[in-house]
Chains A and B, each alone.
Chain A
């Protein structure tokens, strides 16, 4: 199967194999994630991009077993998370943390910052309050907040950017190996966004983290990722090293996404957008290639046959019958 082909040589910390996640909504099935395989090497940042509703957040949640997979496996450091329950799973989750999009909504408005950040320590069994306090202070300083000014205050006293720093501190306090960042900067202003992206990069280097960075903004993803995976309507379209993927996109959808980014330069006249319509519903995804209804290259084969992920360049894989670059 395809997941065997996209092994990078490095030691994978996370391996997702043929993952399928479906939801029942009003008697119908939402095909949120369909047969997705990918892996993240230790120390690497994998960017995961796609438009809203493409299943990128569901995939992130399914890694943590927060949404139940129909089939497929999630191997973290060799252990199959889909087969774990109760205490074993909870212990494993200490090594994998999550940062969400809306930093204000993900902090309990009635708890003080000190308690919020100490909570994961309480759950994981750090019984000594002094030790907890020390760890909380360390992690707050690491994310650039002054512990003495922050610990006793409530979330509403902070701006969005500061709340995201607090969320990052909470994710770091258990000293995890892997962090799933689900749109961590899309709710923030441009000037604050750069601060948080830089902070994530610093934390990654300092704590030796591996990241799965989920976002819809390709420029943001490129700024932090070693490799990028593009999702469309529950399926993986393309995976490749960031620079290669942006310079030579192989999937027409990747190319469309890159073209659609507004460039802050008046000399670059925006290309008149191709009227390619909107993504179909994941309740009734198109047969064959799911992008075919918006794809300028689609033909009969794309209707009949689901394209498999296959290599086109070193380390670059595409699921397309008519890729923009010839197979190498």
Chain B
């Protein structure tokens, strides 16, 4: 990345107090994303990907403790006063959540929700805001936008609701859009449409996007860079084509292998990852993937591998026994 990062997450950790003890949901994460770029964050449930996005948005639960810095467009969001933060969110920092039914207000019409956002942030008068709402709904592929303004969320299908949520997110021309599992609640044919819509609008607006998903397939064709998360940490990070061609982290390899492939023969056994992710309230000494890793040996059980660069500075991984590494360059 040549231009300075639009968003830069520096040494961010999130701790949540639970009855069973402290839960470290996000563990010392560093990430950068440049203007107009797309970063995919991939991981299984409980890996901390959603907590990370909440930490960026400063929307963590009240009891959560956040440390580190979140630099966005030259400001540290962690230390920004609430009023300025509120002005920033929705304006230049927008978000689309997984479930459009819970992210839209069920007792307000689509129109009210869109117009409210536009009036709040862009100070448009009601006529201009309404006109712009119709335009936005049209842009996200909603037929008969004029009539839709009068409808309530429950009158729309899941796919249409997600389009409305995207329209609201895009309404103020944000610089960064965080899409947290935007298609997980939708059917495959609708998923493809929504992902295309996001990609199209992103290109058109030169907007940066963080696409959070559990599906490596979703990330493959639609992101510039990918960060793979496991147990609260980024375990591998690389430009998307590099990651898929030459992954170094055994977890990434195992995750990719475990996905049923459409071109595989029926009844071919899947290379499953044995065991399950560790309990985040009981941190594991050493590499958190070591109990499930087939390459794990002595050192992996004692020491936590740090995220370090491989032969190219763009490609980082946290592993003592990386795969597909040509020379013995591992840290």
Contact = CB atoms under 8 A, between A and B. Distances in A.
Interface of A: 51-52, 159, 161, 189-195, 197-198, 201, 216-220, 222-226, 242-243, 246, 256-270, 272-273, 275-276, 278
Nearest to B183: A262
B268 interface: yes
B267 A272 contact: no
Given A191-B254, A276-B189, A261 B262 contact: yes
Contacts of B160: 278
Contact of B264 (A190, A223, A226, A263): A223
B190 A201 contact: no
B196 interface: yes
Given A269-B221, A270-B221, A201 B269 contact: yes
B221 A218 contact: no
A257 B196 CA distance: 15
Contact of A194 (B193, B241, B270): B270
B37 to A, nearest CB: 15
B15 interface: no
Contacts of A264: 216-217, 219-220, 244, 256, 259, 261
Interface in B188-215: 188-193, 195-196, 214-215
Contact of A51 (B188, B193, B256, B262): B188
Interface string B159-191: 110000000000000000000000000011111
Interface string B228-257: 000000000000110010000000001110
B107 interface: no
Nearest to B223: A266
B1 interface: no
Specify which of A51, A161, A223, A225 lies most central, judged by the most chain B CB atoms within 10 Å of its CB. A223
Given A224-B267, A226-B266, A261-B262, A189 B221 contact: no
B215 A262 contact: yes
B273 A224 contact: no
A191 B258 contact: yes
Could you say which of A195, A216, A266, A272 has the most chain B C-beta atoms within 10 Å of its C-beta?
Answer: A266
B222 interface: yes
B220 A243 contact: no
Contacts of B116: none
A225 B260 CA distance: 12
Contacts of A159: 276
B241 A216 contact: no
Given A51-B189, A51-B190, A266-B240, 8 more contacts: A161-B276, A190-B44, A193-B258, A223-B266, A260-B188, A260-B192, A262-B221, A273-B193
B220 A263 contact: yes
Contacts of B272: 191, 194-195, 197-198
Given A51-B187, A220-B260, A198 B270 contact: yes
Contacts of B159: 278
A243 B214 contact: no
B157 interface: yes
Contact of A225 (B189, B244, B254, B266): B266
Nearest to A225: B266
B218 interface: yes
B261 A270 contact: no
Contact of A191 (B193, B266, B267, B273): B273
B36 interface: no
A296 to B, nearest CB: 13
23 contacts: A189-B214, A191-B254, A191-B273, A194-B259, A194-B260, A194-B272, A195-B274, A216-B188, A218-B262, A222-B264, A222-B266, A223-B264, A223-B268, A225-B266, A246-B262, A261-B217, A264-B219, A264-B259, A265-B220, A265-B221, A267-B241, A268-B221, A270-B222
Nearest to B217: A262
Interface in B265-308: 265-274, 276-277
Contact of B218 (A52, A198, A262): A262
A188 to B, nearest CB: 9
Given A197-B260, A270-B192, A243 B265 contact: yes
B34 interface: no
Nearest to B276: A159
B11 interface: no
B45 interface: yes
Contacts of B266: 222-226, 242-243
A198 B269 contact: yes
B271 to A, nearest CB: 7
A266 B225 CA distance: 11
B187 A191 contact: no
A194 B262 contact: no
B141 interface: yes
Contacts of B261: 219, 264
Contacts of A223: 260, 264, 266-268, 270
A257 B268 contact: no
Contacts of A226: 266-267
A52 B262 contact: no
Contacts of B269: 198, 201
B214 A190 contact: yes
